[in-house]
Amino acid sequence: MPTIAMSKTAPTMRVADRLRRGINALREAPLLAVLILTGLIVVAVFADVIAPYDPTLPVQGAKFFAPPFWMEGGSLHTPLGTDFQARDVLSRLIFGARVSLLVGLMGTLVAGGLGTALGILSGYLGGWVDQVVMRFTDAWLALPALVFAIFLATMVGPSMWNIVIILGSVYWTRYARVIRGEVLSLREREFVKLAEIAGASKWRVIIRHILPNVMNTTMVLASLTVGVVIIAEASLSFLGVGVPPPKPAWGLMLSEARPTLMAGQWWLTVFPGACIVLIVLATQLFGDWLRVRLDPQLRNL
Amino acid sequence: MRQFIVLRILYSIVTLFILSMTIFTIVRLTGDPALLMAEPGARPEDLARVRQQWGLDRPWPVQYISFMQNVFTGELGKSFNYRLPVSELYFQRLPNSLQLALVATMISLLVGIPAGIISAVRVNSLWDNLGKIIALLGLSIPGFWLGLVLILVFSVWLRWLPTSGTGDWRHLIMPAIALGWYFSASLLRLTRSSMLEVMRSEYIKLARLKGLPETVVIAMHAFKNALIPVFTLAGVNLVVMVNAAVIIEVIFAWPGIGRLLYEGIFQRDFPLVQGVVVMAGFMIIGVNLLVDVLYAFIDPRIRLTR
């Protein structure tokens, strides 16, 4: 694992070298996953340009519940059909990618930041800090994550940013556990001991010596959390405690499709779900690759 | 050994305390239940009366203590909405959740164990790759969407199964598959890695050296030990499924505790929500404690770690 070796022995490696190394590494990444992810990111970023219609307004002159274009009664103006308010399904899916990716990434960022910080503090400082953090971790882990998230979301009220905070504050526990374990062994290592003897303050040791060495693990965990967070957001939106309407979130689209599922309007249920599967599948594939590459010890996670 | 068990129990109590405090605090930070219980536009006197009636006017620590008293005396407080003890509502619904979770566990074992074993025995074969794809899809396809698609295919198109409600096995099969789906994948992964680990061990080598046929080695020697962690996970999963099936129960109108929680949340029925969530924590902390203690009995190395 050249990346690990380099980051430990030569922290002053030139930025350009690091960048080149990163790009070379990405070349070996699973093509399918990278393609799907890049595609979705492009779609999410340029949703305003790509989407044919406004996702929140009915399409002028379109029927309610128009089926996809290849079916009888479908039209190429609304290629994937329309919903109960005659809104264009394709445009809603495109804007939904933005919500999913944003919540997935930001939620993971909050969870990863919180969990890594607490894990480092717990592992490095030890003593009562360790006890307090770990008992809170245990308590958090005692509730099924989704039940906890539903509970918090109901209490706080629906908005996209609330969901980010909620999912972040539910999914930090795994980071805290794993990172603490790593820090426990790191703090016994010579380079940490030497830094302490040389008079480095606690904060300096944490930021200069501990943090860079747990970043790989945080990255691997993050790649695995993104998918979980995206599904959790969809679940919350589906239950009506997530992203509020009329914002086009995939979970919300599934929820709106439920009353008419019995009438056989399958496109309203199948397409948003397929999008969720696609994005989570891609992050999982990417995560698997990253895990094997960055840290073989984490293979069993 | 005794010290280990005592320590575990103490940790569990602390965990439960932190959990109940957290839930209690969050519930009270986010709104006044009296406003929701009284008629709209009620006079301040009426609101005060409602608060007094439900004990909401007392200081928080007192409310917390009476809440915990309720937990331990088994009543769990009184539901605002149903005007019944929460425990009564809870235990009415629990058998339904248990039934669903048991069937889902069985499905996940029936899928996960054989697939996991085949993958481990024939590493990198076609079967192993198929197993990997199932595991990947298990994590990527949300259970609730699978449930919706099942309804679409088997209820709407084929008209074989009822969409929702309770009754005989036909009502149970789709929610159980949707619920067990994710857990099948995790059992598959665990069975595979556990089998692989056992197959590398010394005693399996010895069994092979003795000249035992490969099927005997796998079926009699490896299988038994490899399945200990798998059944442990299945047991823990069962408890998790009982408590975490909220969205599946909502989709299939299954009258379990997940739906009770959902109803409680939308009616802002604090004692109900509190009770259901605390019970979930109780059960999961309990099952984890049980697993820790059982493992300490089975494996002396665990006792010595702390």
pLDDT, tens only, A88-146: 888 889 898 999 999 999 999 999 999 999 999 999 998 899 989 998 998 888 888 88
Cβ separation of B281 and A142 shorter than 8 Å? yes
Examine the pLDDT at A76 and tell me if it is beyond 80.
no
Same domain, B74 and B111: no
Same domain, B232 and B180: yes
What letter does residue B84 receive in the DSSP assignment?
S
A167: which residues sit within 8 A by CB, 6+ positions away? A103, A107, A110, A111, A149, A229, A232, A233
Put simply, the chain A residues between 205 and 234 with a CB less than 8 A from any chain B CB are: 227, 231, 234
Kindly report the number of other CB atoms within 10 A of residue B49's CB atom: 15
Same domain, B127 and B216: yes
Put simply, the chain B residues between 229 and 268 with a CB less than 8 A from any chain A CB are: 240, 243-244, 246-247, 250-251, 261-262, 265-266
CA distance B45 to chain A (A): 26
Report pLDDT digits (tens) over B168-205: 777 888 889 999 988 898 899 888 888 888 888 888 88
CB pairs under 8 A between A and B: 124
How many domains would you assign to chain B? 2
Q: What is the CATH number of the domain that holds B96?
A: 1.10.3720.10
For the whole model, what pTM was predicted?
0.85
Same domain, B275 and B300: yes
Same domain, B184 and B60: no
* Average pLDDT for chain A: 83
Closest residue to A254, CB basis, from B11, B16, B148: B148
pLDDT score, position A10: 47
Same domain, B235 and B292: no
% of residues, chain A, pLDDT over 90: 23
Same domain, B107 and B191: yes
Same domain, B27 and B123: no
Cβ distance B30 to A155 under 8 Å?
yes
Domain extent at residue B157: 87-266
Cβ distance A214 to A261 under 8 Å?
no
* Least reliable range by pLDDT among A200-204, B59-63, B87-91, B153-157: B59-63
Tokens of A137: 């971790």
Same domain, B230 and B281: no
Same domain, B169 and B231: yes
Mean pLDDT of A269-285: 91
Q: How many residues does chain A have?
A: 301
ipTM over 0.90: no
pLDDT grade for A301, boundaries at 50, 70 and 90: very low
Same domain, B103 and B179: yes
Tokens of B7: 């320590």
Same domain, B160 and B281: no
Helix pair B86-121, B270-298: axis angle to 10 deg: 40
Cβ separation of B247 and A146 shorter than 8 Å? yes
